[in-house]
Amino acid sequence: MLALMSIDTTRRRPARAPSAPPVHPAYQRRMRLADTLQVLSVVSVALVIAIFLADGGAVRFTTPADALTSLGILSGLVGSDLLLVMLLLAARLPLIDRAFGHDRAMAVHQSLGKPALYLLLGHGALLIGGYALADNSTLPAEVWTMLTQLPDMPLAFVGLALLVTVVVSSIVVVRRRFRYEAWHAVHLLAYAAVLVSIPHQLSVGGLLRDGSIQRYYWLALYAGVAGSILLFRFIIPTVRSIRHRLVVAGVDRVAPGVVSLRLTGRGLRKLNASAGQFFIWRFWTPGLWWQAHPFSLSAAPGGDTLRITVRGLGDASAALPTLPTGTRVSFEGPYGLFTERARTSPRIVLVAAGIGVAPIRSLLESASFEPGGATVILRAPSPGELYLADEMAALCARRGATLRVIAGHRPAGVDSWLPVDAAAAGITLASLVPDVGEADVYVCGPRRWTDAVVADARAAHVPTRQIHYERFDW
C-alpha cells in the first residue's frame, strides 16, 4: 500500500495566474451541439405558448373566471412540455450524452422537477377556481363535478398525485431515507403519471380538439418522447446485451466490501466505450435480476474485457462479491462525458475520493499527456479506504504522473474537501497544483465532496469548460 502523503504547509507555492489554453475544436463542436439542444428546448416551450395564443387565448381574459381558466390552460401546457423535456434528459439519448454528459443532463432534469410540478399544480388549482367562479360553485363542489362529469378527469388527478410523489421522493432530505432500489421504483411512477394524464388533455376543452394542427403536434411530442425512451432505454440495450453475450469472468477482492468484476463478451470493441464512462448493469441471478445499477469502468476498455470496481453500499452491490463465474450480464450504455472527449488542455488533474477512484483510474490508464503533465490526488478518510491505490501508484510511475495521497477526516460543518489540518492551514487545490488553471480537472466522488472540489477549482480560476465531474450519488 502506498504510504500516506504528509502535507508540508510551509512550502506552498502561490498559484500562477492561469493562462487559459486554446479552445479545442472538439469542445467547440460539443458546445454547438449543446447550444442547439438548449435552443430547441426553449423553442418547444415557445411553441406551446404560441399554440395557446393562436387559438385565441389572448382574448379569453375578459372575466375573472375566464382569466383563471386561461392561465390554468397555459400553465398546464408549459408544465407538460417541461415534463417531456425532463423525460428526454433522462432517456439517455446519444446526442444529449455527447453534448452535456450524464451528470449535467441529470442536474438539469432535477432542476426542472419543481417548476414543472408547480406549473401543473397551478394548472389544477387555476382551472378549479375558474370553473367554480363560472358555475357560481364552491371549490369542493367543483372538484366533485370535475371528477364525476368531465371525461378522463379522475385519471388526471391520479397523474398529478403520482407526479407529486416522484418529485417529493427526489428531494435530497427525503431521498436519503430510501434505499436506491425503492427510490428507483418510485421514480418509475413518472412514466405512469405522464400516461394517465394524456386522455384528459385530448378530451377536455377545445384547444387540442380532434383534427386540429395543435392536436397532431401535441401527439407528435408525446410519441417522440415515448419512442426515444423505448428505443434508447429498452430496445438498443436489449439488442446489445444479446449480441455481446457479456458474462462475469472473475471477482477480485480489492478491500473489505470492495470488489472488481472482470466481464468478458464478444465484439466489445464495437461498443466504442471510453475510459471514464459508466454502464447500467443487470446481473442475472435470482436475487439481482430485477435491479439495474450504474457502475463506472475501472480500467480502460480493451479487447473483449471490461472491468468495474464496486463498493457494497446497497442491497445489490453488497451481493456482488458472491457472483458466480459465468453469470450473464445485460447492460445499457456506455454513458457519460467523463472522458478524453471533454479535454481542452494538454495538462490534466485527476481528483478522486473513495470508490470515485474507479473512473479516475481508467482515465489515468488511457489519457494522453506528456510525462509530468498529469497530477493525481486521492482522498479518503483513512488509508484503508484508499481503493486501488497500488494500481494508481504503478500507473503514475509508469506514465510519469505526480501522485498525491491525502487521508484524514473532513472538518465538521465546513465545505472542505481536505482533512481538518489541511483545511485549517489554508491548503487549496491551487496550492497543491500551482498550474491547475492551465489543466483539465476531473473530479469524482460523493456529491458534497465533489461540489467542494469543484468550488475550489473555480476559486482557483479554472475555466468552467476545464472542469469535469461525476458525483457518486442518486
CATH of the domain at 398: 3.40.50.80
Within-domain flag for 403: yes
Within-domain flag for 179: yes
Query: Residue 184 has what pLDDT?
Result: 66
Regarding whether 188 and 218 lie in a shared domain, the answer is yes
Examine the pLDDT at 14 and tell me if it is beyond 70: no
**Taking a C-beta distance cutoff of 8 angstroms, is the pair 265, 244 a contact?**
yes
Burial profile 238-258: b = 16 or more Cβ within 10 angstroms, e = fewer? eebbeebebebbebeebeebb
Q: What is the mean pLDDT of residues 274-300?
A: 91
Within-domain flag for 1: no
Examine the pLDDT at 101 and tell me if it is beyond 70: yes
Within-domain flag for 3: no
Within-domain flag for 262: yes
Hey, CA dihedral for 417, 419, 420, 424, is it positive or negative? negative
Regarding whether 170 and 44 lie in a shared domain, the answer is yes
User: What is the rounded distance in angstroms from the CA atom of residue 203 to the CA atom of residue 190?
Assistant: 22
Within-domain flag for 2: no
Q: What is the mean pLDDT of residues 201-205?
A: 86
Regarding whether 86 and 60 lie in a shared domain, the answer is yes
Examine the pLDDT at 333 and tell me if it is beyond 50: yes
Q: What is the mean pLDDT of residues 139-166?
A: 90
More confident residue, 385 or 15: 385
More confident residue, 394 or 181: 394
Q: Which of 177-191, 318-332, 345-359, 378-392 has the lowest mean pLDDT?
A: 177-191
Pick the last residue of a domain from 317, 335, 353: 335
**Where does the pLDDT of residue 79 fall: very low under 50, low under 70, confident under 90, or very high at 90 and above?**
very high
Model confidence, pTM:
0.82
**Where does the pLDDT of residue 12 fall: very low under 50, low under 70, confident under 90, or very high at 90 and above?**
very low
Regarding whether 380 and 436 lie in a shared domain, the answer is yes
Regarding whether 330 and 218 lie in a shared domain, the answer is no
Q: What is the mean pLDDT of residues 105-117?
A: 88
Grid coordinates in use for 402?
A: 505526480
Q: Which of 2-16, 149-163, 315-329, 425-439 has the lowest mean pLDDT?
A: 2-16
Domain around 115? 27-239
Tell me how many domains the chain contains.
3
Regarding whether 321 and 192 lie in a shared domain, the answer is no
Query: Residue 324 has what pLDDT?
Result: 93
Within-domain flag for 323: yes
What is the overall mean pLDDT for the chain?
Answer: 87
Q: What is the mean pLDDT of residues 107-116?
A: 88
Regarding whether 204 and 107 lie in a shared domain, the answer is yes
Q: What is the mean pLDDT of residues 78-89?
A: 94
The widest CA-to-CA distance across the chain, in whole angstroms, is: 80
Q: What type of residue is 422?
A: A
Q: What percent of the chain shows pLDDT beyond 70?
A: 89
Query: Residue 281 has what pLDDT?
Result: 94
Q: What is the mean pLDDT of residues 9-23?
A: 44
Q: What is the mean pLDDT of residues 43-69?
A: 91
Regarding whether 268 and 355 lie in a shared domain, the answer is no
Q: What is the mean pLDDT of residues 103-116?
A: 87
Q: Which of 382-396, 405-419, 441-455 has the lowest mean pLDDT?
A: 405-419
Regarding whether 460 and 364 lie in a shared domain, the answer is yes
Q: What percent of the chain shows pLDDT beyond 90?
A: 61
Query: Residue 129 has what pLDDT?
Result: 95
Q: Which of 38-47, 317-326, 353-362 has the lowest mean pLDDT?
A: 317-326
Examine the pLDDT at 24 and tell me if it is beyond 70: no
Pick the last residue of a domain from 316, 335, 354: 335
